[in-house]
Structure 1
Amino acid sequence: MRSYKSYTFSFIVLAILLHSSLVGQEPLEELLPTESKFKEPKTRLWINTYGNIRISKRLFWVAQTHFRFEETEETPFIGQIGQIYNRHAIGYIYNKKVNAALGGVMRINFNTDENSIDRNVVPEFRIWHQYQFAMPVYSAMIYHRIRIEHRWTKGFEENSDYIFRNRWRYMFRAKIPLNKDRLESKTLYVSPEAELIMQSGKAVVGSVMEDLRLTTTLGYILTPRLTVAGGLMYSQGQTLDNPGIFKQNWTMRFHVYFSPDFRKVKNKLPEIHLND
């Protein structure tokens, strides 16, 4: 009898604790939609420069600057400046088809909400490392890139704190020559690309897929050291606040790739596949 009473008492205490823990919490169905919802697509414009500057037999300096614009209610399509990236790293050439890099990012985020009363600009910091593998397939080149980023971000609210997240990125890309049998000077090429960006961290509750990017680019190799390209990207991903809501974007992307080499000719390695 005593055992029965003790079990009954324990059950009542457990029920009270469970009820008190749920008081004030919103039901899960109120937080998550009953089915996935997609926001209306936004249009964006990205202007990017990619520099791979040889500094020794095995080392190169990665120097990238990105200007990213996005539409607002008052300025549709191209819109206003949203982010400025300044990404740098030191890269290591393992062989002609494999290289790696480690560095940091300083990103400036601009508040594009025209009705916001919060801050207009906040900085974002990242440490990043990547591993790229190139492989020839007939006249084309196939690239596999793994990039890992450790990022500190904050909102535009006055008293918002930095939150830490990791990004896990895998990109598959091909470069296919159109007017020649190989990728060389005066070559026009097409480059289909797919990249999956996952994220993790204490602030990530269900929103693990940050972005899926599908891109087609048309490029022209002016010289072995200079290439220009442009293309269209569609992307979608879960919002951080609610994993049941997906954002969408259509992005026009324009790139300039440059790879100067100031070493003496006798110290140069054969041409390598560094383009990002």
Structure 2
Amino acid sequence: MMRNSKQIVWVLFLLFGCIYTKSFAQEEEYEVLPKESEYKHAKTKLWVNTYGKIRISKRLYWDAQTHFRFEETESTPFVGQVGQLYNRHALGYIYSKKVNFSLGGVLRLNFNTDPLSEDRNLVPEWRIWHQYQFAMPVYSATVYHRIRIEHRWTQGFEDDSEYIFRNRWRYLFRAKIPLNNHKLVPKTFYVAPETELIMQSGKAVVGSVMEDLRLTTTLGYILTPRLTVAAGGLYSMGQDLKNAGEFKQTFTLRVHMYYSPDFRRVKNKLPAIHLND
């Protein structure tokens, strides 16, 4: 009986010790978390983007995108230094004039923009992406719903930095509204308000699930059925990966060129949905 009592005492001692240790660890962890959210100073950026839809066959097209992204320095806003270079390509499938799908890969080159850093100046980022876009007419305008899912491998600028894997879940809503015409045809100006929500998941994502919320307004001009130019402004905000309580902010000027070459010996034009991305 005495032996059983000693065993019970030891079990209770170990149990209370584990509870106390866990509670202390939780208390220490809680103390390092932010007590309230904080918005970082907004950065300024400039994006120069090209979007190509190269028709291959009746149903297939090559989606070729190149992005040049600049960001501020202490002395120069918007275009002070190179931040990233994008090469995004995919094979697209035209299901109908209002629905298309894409699957491809991305090589993004990230430049170290920290002037005090002694780490590497350039690291690559790899992605696999697939996209589902739907369009529908609303009076004289066209409304787009775009779902894009990205599987990305990223690393820091430190020499011993390892790649981490994350998924991005993106939904974009865009409207294209003609201003000087009743249709989106050549020689037409249009305004395109859009909103995109970007969520992320993965082992490295602890609380910071909202990577970006983008609010954009663009003014565009359709030169020909194969060529459109546009420019506009973007405000974005999102949680920092290392600290979910910190929100990044940016004000970005964006310049776009959309081109749609068709080298087939046919007279059919690309569907209007492919004039932009």
TM-score past 0.5 threshold: yes
**Which residue does 1:254 correspond to in 2?**
255
**TM-score scaled by structure 1?**
0.94
**Which residue does 1:127 correspond to in 2?**
128
Residue identity in the other structure for 2:259 = F
**TM-score scaled by structure 2?**
0.94
Aligned 1:93-104 pairs, distance under 5 A = 93-104=94-105
**Cα pair 2:225 2:269 within 8 Å, conserved:** no
**Cα pair 2:53 2:260 within 8 Å, conserved:** yes
Q: 1:120-151, CA deviations, whole angstroms, 9 ceiling, x for partnerless residues? A: 00000000000000000000000000000000
In 1, the alpha carbon distance for the partners of 2:5 and 2:248 equals: 55
Q: 1:84-134, CA deviations, whole angstroms, 9 ceiling, x for partnerless residues? A: 000000000001100000000000000000000100000000000000000
In 1, the alpha carbon distance for the partners of 2:30 and 2:24 equals: 16
User: 3-state SS of the aligned residue for 1:273?
Assistant: helix
Is 2:265 the partner of 1:264?
yes
**Which residue does 2:223 correspond to in 1?**
222
**Which residue does 1:69 correspond to in 2?**
70
**Cα pair 1:57 1:269 within 8 Å, conserved:** no
Q: 1:135-175, CA deviations, whole angstroms, 9 ceiling, x for partnerless residues? A: 00000000000000000000001100000000000000000
User: 3-state SS of the aligned residue for 1:265?
Assistant: coil
**Cα pair 1:62 1:90 within 8 Å, conserved:** yes
**Which residue does 2:59 correspond to in 1?**
58
**Which residue does 1:87 correspond to in 2?**
88
What is the deviation of 1:271?
A: 2.5
> Identity of paired residues, percent?
68
**Cα pair 1:209 1:237 within 8 Å, conserved:** yes
**Which residue does 1:188 correspond to in 2?**
189
Aligned 1:1-276 pairs, distance under 5 A = 8-20=9-21, 27-265=28-266, 268=268, 271-274=271-274, 275-276=276-277
**Cα pair 1:31 1:242 within 8 Å, conserved:** no
**Cα pair 1:170 1:195 within 8 Å, conserved:** yes
What is the deviation of 1:8?
A: 4.5
Q: What do you get for the CA RMSD once the two structures are aligned?
A: 1.9
Moved runs in structure 1, 4+ residues, more than 4 A?
A: 1-8, 18-26
What is the deviation of 1:19?
A: 4.6
Residue identity in the other structure for 2:248 = K
User: 3-state SS of the aligned residue for 2:16?
Assistant: helix
In 1, the alpha carbon distance for the partners of 2:100 and 2:5 equals: 69
**Cα pair 1:72 1:114 within 8 Å, conserved:** no
Q: 1:7-53, CA deviations, whole angstroms, 9 ceiling, x for partnerless residues? A: 54333212323455677787234332211100010000000000000
In 1, the alpha carbon distance for the partners of 2:100 and 2:78 equals: 37
Q: How many residues align?
A: 275
Q: 1:203-249, CA deviations, whole angstroms, 9 ceiling, x for partnerless residues? A: 00000000000000000000011000000000000000000110000
**Cα pair 2:45 2:77 within 8 Å, conserved:** no
Closer, same or farther: CA 26–160 of 1 in aligned 2, 3 Å: farther
User: 3-state SS of the aligned residue for 2:273?
Assistant: coil
**Cα pair 2:48 2:69 within 8 Å, conserved:** yes
**Cα pair 1:72 1:113 within 8 Å, conserved:** no
Closer, same or farther: CA 135–5 of 1 in aligned 2, 3 Å: farther
In 1, the alpha carbon distance for the partners of 2:118 and 2:19 equals: 40
Closer, same or farther: CA 142–33 of 1 in aligned 2, 3 Å: same
Residue identity in the other structure for 2:168 = R
